[in-house]
Amino acid sequence: MGMRPVRERGTLSVVAFDLTAVRRGLAENPALPFDLLRPLLDAPDRVTWAALAGRSDLTRAAVRRLATTDSPAVRIALARNPVGAAHGWDLLVDDADVDVRTALADNHWRHGDIPRDFPLPEPAQVRLADDPAGRVRRMMAFRRDPAPAVGRRLAADPSADVRCEVARHWRRAPADVARTWFTDPDPGVRRAALFRHLPPAELVAGLLADPETRAEAAGRVRLVPDTAEDLASDPDPEVRWAVARNPTLPAPLVVRLADDPDPEVRAEIMLRRDLPDDVRARVAASVEPQDYHVAGWLVDAALDVRLAHVDSPFAFCRRAVASSKCLPAPAIARLATDEDFSVRLLLAENHPEVPGAVFATVLPRTGHAAWLLGSHPSIPTDLLVAMAGSDDERDRNVAAISPHLPAPNAVDLAEHRVATTRRCVAANVALPLSAILRLLHDPDSGVVTAAASNPRLPPTAARDLLAAG
């Protein structure tokens, strides 16, 4: 484990600690500058290199050094990092390990301040689009805006899986490319194209007549009266469900589908903007309410339109308002007391100034969102204190990561018998420095790593730890 005695030095006094765990934590610490951590490039363990490879402040020289290590895990971490991809793509694009090339192809998500769809240089995109491994090419096909030459390569890929993904994700595909998807021999490609693109008028009839694409086309194409009537009367509920989503469905058919025998069809009609409210009320009474029912058309509507629905009798309309941004204080106060759980949860997830009383009503029923809500700026201190003292491990750990947890309670959790709780609180900036330094002695390596990654750890302590290694 690399346990080593260290003499007292400056603000840090460490008897023994897990060097590997400490180095990994320092490498992950976002508050420490890379220049201070540069000696970790000479660390003897690949775990430290992998942690360094994920940093957003790597220099070009550091990237290129890490890209030539013999550890696939390090090169994968570097390939996933936009900074690593920018400075080392030429060393990674032909890597012998397919997982490294797949990670590089997947490098298009938000990382720090780097925007989504981080643009790999076109030569890298071309090489990856021609990769011998299908999963590398498929990962490239997830890019929303590939270089045109790359998109065309992927659109003609021999693998139907690759063609499906590029048809689904390439938003600005040229018309001639999209046409090839609508006539592709694989029905999955044709369906994927309908997800993102409108087919040429002359292909609509064929797509509607094809049982493999009829439902998808029913939801996307511009409807004429005879076609709309035919689709709304289709014996297949999947087709009727799709046409219920079509924004060009004539008003009389919208009302007719409100009485459809299939509840999923009625639910789609219920959520439409153009359904009269008296009919909407009748449909809502016949559909089992689901937490995911949200009137999507309201989310980005003009503020006055959203505010007109704050007191809507329909929970799915109020959910849409609660999930929108920049609501005035009176609207937030009204929605904070809503009887619908999803309204209150969406409000808490989307507004920093939600009333604190909301959290006691949503956290007990919340799943993964609890980890975000626990750090919400409006969460009441007394609720965090109660959660920190809970016998429920999830509640306790949610409190342990909250930067708003009072320091005395954070110190108590740092001494908790359960290691996962100590790990959660060890990286919390609410923890006093003295407690952070004590956790560097913890018998659990995960706790040690978390403590070393705590942004409150001062550079002087980090230098001492680096010198000890």
Kindly state the percentage of the chain with pLDDT values over 90. 88
- For residues 388-394, average pLDDT: 96
Q: How far is CA 24 from CA 6, 21, 43, 46, 367, in A?
A: 18, 5, 10, 9, 29
Mean pLDDT, the chain, whole residue set: 92
Distance (Å, rounded) from C-alpha 242 to C-alpha 78?
42
Hey, which residues does 3 pair with through a beta bridge? 18
Q: Dmax of the chain from CA atoms? A: 86
Residue with the two structure tokens 């390596």: 445
Burial of residue 115 (number of CB atoms within 10 Å: 0-12, 13-18, 19+): exposed
**Residue 114 main-chain phi, psi, to 5 deg:** -85, 130
Integer Cα distance of 34 and 292 in angstroms: 43
361: pLDDT confidence band, cut at 50, 70 and 90? Answer: very high
Q: Is the pLDDT of residue 267 over 90?
A: yes
Which residue in the block uniquely carries the two structure tokens 């969102």?
A: 369
Please give the C-alpha separations between residue 305 and each of 225, 310, 317, in angstroms, as whole numbers: 30, 9, 11
Long-range contacts of 316-319 (CB under 8 A, 24+ apart): 316/270, 316/271, 318/343, 319/293, 319/294, 319/295, 319/343, 319/346
Q: Give the bridge partners for 18, in sequence order.
A: 3
pTM of the model: 0.86
Q: Which of 253, 292, 245, 252 is nearest to 273 (CA)?
A: 245
pLDDT at residue 333 is higher than 90: yes
Helix axis angle, 407-414 relative to 381-388, nearest 10°? 10
Please check the confidence at residue 422 and state whether its pLDDT lies above 90: yes
How confident is the model over 174-207, as pLDDT tens digits?
Answer: 999 999 999 999 999 999 999 999 999 999 999 9
CB proximity list for 258: less than 8 A, separation 6 or greater: 266, 269, 270, 275, 279, 282, 283
Distance of alpha carbon 325 from alpha carbon 330, whole angstroms: 14
> 381 pairs with which residues across the strands?
none
**What is the spatial distance between Cα 324 and Cα 344, in angstroms, rounded to a whole number?**
12
Which string of DSSP letters, residue by residue, matches 417-428? Answer: SSHHHHHHHHT-
pLDDT of residue 200: 95
Chain position carrying tokens 């505010």: 307
Q: How many angstroms separate the CA atoms of 130 and 150, rounded? A: 9
The confidence score (pLDDT) of residue 121 equals: 87
Per-position b or e across 30-68, b if 16+ CB within 10 A of its CB:
eebebeebeebbebebbbbbbbbbbbeebeeebbbbbbe
pLDDT tens digits for range 55-78: 999 999 999 999 999 999 999 999
pLDDT digits (tens, 9 = 90+) for 209-252: 999 999 999 999 999 999 999 999 999 999 999 999 999 999 99
CB-based contact 53:74 (threshold 8 Å): yes
Instruction: Outline where 81-159 has alpha helix (H).
Output: 82-92, 98-105, 122-129, 134-140, 148-155
Q: What integer is the mean pLDDT of 116-127?
A: 78
Sign for the CA dihedral angle at 277, 280, 285, 288 comes to: negative
- Tell me the domain boundaries of the chain: 1-25+380-469, 290-368
Q: Quick check: 7 pLDDT over 80?
A: no
The residue whose two tokens read 């089992």 is: 288
